Amino acid sequence: MNWDAVGAIAELAGALGVVTSLAYLGLQIRQNTRSSHTATYRSLKQEIQQFRAMLGSDPEVARIYRDGLRDFRSLNEDDQWRFGAMMQHLSSSFEDYFRLRGDSIMHDLSDEIRWVAARPGARDWWSNGQRLYEADFRGFIDDLIASESTASD
């Protein structure tokens, strides 16, 4: 065997090593991305559960939220501010969902978002509060509101 053949075999082995390393790296990146999405999903679920726990454990907060969903404008100034803070918290969680909704691990929250967005007080708050969010998310919420309005007509 001559040196050219040995060099060709070494080049082939090196190329196979590079291809194997790249394939392994691709698998590791995919696994890491999946783990990151799972952690984000769990965090999002926990945020929503904490919001629900807050409503369930504090009658005053629950009253403000319930009354605000019914009629935002009927709340006094302090309660409007509190309701707005709750809606910002909830809308931010919904926006996180919106950003991840294409991920196969995401549970579909569209019905829950639609339910909140369809409440008269939430729509009143959204008319001003939507400026806090990106245009694509605003469009998503506006579409949910429109579809709910059409369904109830």
**What pLDDT is stored for residue 94 in this prediction?**
87
**Residue 27: inside a domain, yes or no?**
no
**What pLDDT is stored for residue 153 in this prediction?**
44
C-alpha 134/C-alpha 26 separation (Å) is: 32
What confidence category does residue 80 fall into, taking pLDDT thresholds of 50, 70 and 90?
very high
Q: How far is CA 36 from CA 32, 40, 43, 54, 137, in A?
A: 6, 6, 11, 27, 22
Q: How far is CA 116 from CA 35, 64, 71, 148, in A?
A: 30, 14, 13, 10
Parent domain of 116 = 38-152
Mean pLDDT of 10-23: 86
**What pLDDT is stored for residue 82 in this prediction?**
96
**Residue 141: inside a domain, yes or no?**
yes
Mean pLDDT of 40-46: 82
| Burial group, residue 94, by CB count within 10 angstroms (0-12, 13-18, 19+) | buried
For the chain, give the percent of residues with pLDDT over 90. 37
**Residue 107: inside a domain, yes or no?**
yes
**What pLDDT is stored for residue 100 in this prediction?**
77
**What pLDDT is stored for residue 105 in this prediction?**
54
**What pLDDT is stored for residue 115 in this prediction?**
86
**What pLDDT is stored for residue 41 in this prediction?**
77
What confidence category does residue 152 fall into, taking pLDDT thresholds of 50, 70 and 90?
low
Q: What is the DSSP string of 102-127?
A: TSTT----HHHHHHHHHSHHHHHHHH
Q: What is the mean pLDDT of the chain?
A: 85
Least confident of 43-47, 72-76, 131-135: 43-47
**Residue 118: inside a domain, yes or no?**
yes
**What pLDDT is stored for residue 84 in this prediction?**
95
Mean pLDDT of 100-126: 79
Which sign, positive or negative, has the C-alpha torsion 123, 129, 131, 137?
A: negative
Nearest to 97 by CA among 55, 52, 37, 50: 37
Query: 99-130 burial, b for 16+ CB within 10 Å, e for fewer?
Result: eeeeeeebeebeeebbebbbbebbbbbbeeeb
**What pLDDT is stored for residue 87 in this prediction?**
95
Question: What is the number of domains present in the chain?
Answer: 1
Which sign, positive or negative, has the C-alpha torsion 93, 97, 100, 103?
A: positive
